[in-house]
C-alpha cells in the first residue's frame, strides 16, 4: 500500500464524518433556526434534517418548554414612601423562535429589567397595607404588562409571582407589635365570648332545672291528690258496702223474724189454743216486757180478774204435769 491509499482513505473518512455532521436530528419541543449565507432561511421542526456544509448554519436551538426564572430582589417605594425589597418569579415560554433570535438582544436581561420597572410603577400607586394584601392584583398587572411587551420578542409570559415582600426592619417590628396586639385583642374577645356562653349555659341549666323541679312538684301534687281522691272513693265505697251489708242483714233478720212470727202464728192457729193458753202467753209476754228497761207498761184490757187468771194458770200447769 502506497501513500496514495492512505490519502484516499483519509479523504473518504473526512467525507463520511462531514456527512454525519451534516445530518441534524431535532428533538421534541425544540426548534432550530437555520441561516443561509448569514440570513434567516427556515426553522427546523422535530425530525431529521440535512445541513449543507458551508452554506447552512444553525443560528439557534430554541426550546419551546415553559421556563422559570427567579429574579433577585428589587427595591421599590410605595405610595406612602416605604422602601421595601420584592423579588419576582417569571414563568415564560418561547412561541416564535425567529423573533426570539432576532427580536431582542439578551432577552432574559430584558425581561428582568422590564419586570423591575413595571413592578416599581405598580407599587408606586399602592400604600404599604395594599401592597402586602394585594399580591394577586400585582401579579395580574405585571403579567399583563410583560405579556404585551414581550410579544414582539416571540415570548409568552404566562404568569408572574411575587416571591417575597421584605419591608424595612422597623416596619416589620411595628407589624409584629400590631399583630401581637391584634392576637391579644382576639384572645380577649374569645375569652369574653366563652365566659358569656358559659354564663348563658349555666343560666339555661338553672332555668331548665327549676322548670323540671316545678313540673316534678306539680306531678307529685297531682299524684298525691289523685291518691287521696282514690282513697276517699275507696273509703266511701267501703262504707257504702258496709251499710248495704248491714241493711241487707237487718232486712234478712227482720224477714226471718217475720217469717218465724208468721210460722208461729200458723202453728198456733193450727193448734187451736184455748183461751187459758192465750192468757198464759200474754202473761209471759207481759212478764218479759216488765223485765225490760221500759219506764211505762201498758196493760192490755183483756187481762182482767187476777183470780180467774191465776186459776187458769194453775189448771194449765196441772195438765202439763199429767202429760209428762
Count of beta carbons in the 10 Å neighbourhood of residue 18: 10
Query: Which residues, in sequence order, are CB contacts of 112 under 8 Å at separation 6+?
Result: 69, 71
How far is residue 278's CA from residue 244's CA, in Å, rounded to a whole number?
A: 39
H/E run at residue 231: helix 169-271
| Residue 70, beta-bridge partner list | 89
Q: What is the pLDDT along the chain (324 residues), one digit of tens a residue?
A: 556 777 787 888 878 787 787 888 889 989 999 998 888 889 999 888 888 888 888 888 999 999 999 988 888 888 888 888 898 999 999 999 999 988 888 888 999 999 999 999 998 888 888 888 888 889 999 999 999 999 999 999 999 998 888 888 887 777 778 788 888 888 889 888 888 888 898 888 888 888 988 888 888 889 888 888 888 888 888 888 888 888 888 888 888 877 877 776 677 666 655 555 555 565 555 555 555 554 555 555 554 454 454 455 545 555 555 555
Inter-residue contact 150 to 108 (CB < 8 Å): no
82: three-class secondary structure by DSSP: coil
Nearest Cα residue to 104 out of 146, 55, 159:
146
Tell me the torsion sign for CA atoms 38, 39, 41, 42. positive
* Cα–Cα dist 283/291, whole Å: 12
C-alpha 173: how far from its chain's center? 42
Cα–Cα distance between 282 and 302 in angstroms, integer?
9
Helix axes 275-291, 306-323, angle to 10 degrees: 110
- DSSP classification of residue 302: T
Going along the chain from its start, the domains and CATH numbers come out as 3-63 (no CATH), 67-167 (3.30.479.30), 273-291+302-324 (no CATH)
CA-to-CA dists, residue 321 to 204, 314, 317, angstroms? 105, 11, 6
Global pTM reads 0.51
Amino acid at each position: 500500500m502506497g501513500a496514495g491509499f492512505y490519502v484516499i482513505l483519509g479523504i473518504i473518512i473526512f467525507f463520511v464524518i462531514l456527512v454525519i455532521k451534516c445530518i441534524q436530528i431535532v428533538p421534541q419541543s425544540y426548534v432550530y433556526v437555520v441561516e443561509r449565507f448569514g440570513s434567516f432561511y427556515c426553522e427546523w421542526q422535530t425530525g431529521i434534517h440535512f445541513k449543507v456544509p458551508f452554506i447552512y448554519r444553525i443560528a439557534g436551538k430554541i426550546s419551546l418548554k415553559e421556563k422559570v426564572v427567579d429574579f433577585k430582589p428589587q427595591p421599590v417605594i410605595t405610595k406612602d414612601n416605604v422602601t421595601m425589597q420584592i423579588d419576582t418569579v417569571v414563568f415564560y415560554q418561547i412561541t416564535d423562535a425567529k423573533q426570539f433570535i432576532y427580536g431582542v438582544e439578551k432577552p432574559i436581561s430584558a425581561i428582568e429589567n422590564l419586570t423591575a420597572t413595571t413592578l416599581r410603577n405598580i407599587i408606586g400607586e399602592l400604600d404599604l397595607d395594599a401592597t402586602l394584601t394585594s399580591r394577586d392584583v400585582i401579579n395580574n398587572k405585571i403579567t399583563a404588562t410583560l405579556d404585551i411587551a414581550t410579544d414582539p420578542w416571540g415570548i409568552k409570559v404566562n404568569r408572574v409571582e411575587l416571591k417575597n415582600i421584605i419591608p424595612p426592619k422597623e416596619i416589620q417590628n411595628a407589624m409584629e407589635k400590631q399583630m401581637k396586639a391584634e392576637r391579644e385583642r382576639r384572645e380577649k374577645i374569645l375569652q369574653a365570648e366563652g365566659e358569656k356562653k358559659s354564663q348563658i349555659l349555666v343560666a339555661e341549666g338553672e332555668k331548665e332545672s327549676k322548670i323540671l323541679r316545678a313540673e316534678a312538684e306539680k306531678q307529685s301534687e297531682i299524684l298525691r291528690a289523685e291518691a287521696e281522691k282514690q282513697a276517699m272513693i275507696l273509703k266511701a265505697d267501703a262504707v257504702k258496702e258496709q251499710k248495704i251489708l248491714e241493711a241487707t242483714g237487718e232486712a234478712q233478720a227482720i224477714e226471718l223474724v217475720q217469717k218465724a212470727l208468721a210460722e208461729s202464728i200458723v202453728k198456733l192457729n193450727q193448734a187451736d189454743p184455748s183461751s187459758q193458753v192465750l192468757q198464759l202467753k200474754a202473761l209471759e209476754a207481759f212478764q218479759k216486757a216488765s223485765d225490760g228497761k221500759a219506764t211505762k207498761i201498758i196493760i192490755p184490757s183483756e187481762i182482767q180478774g187476777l183470780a180467774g187468771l191465776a186459776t187458769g194458770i194453775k189448771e194449765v200447769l196441772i195438765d202439763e204435769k199429767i202429760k209428762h
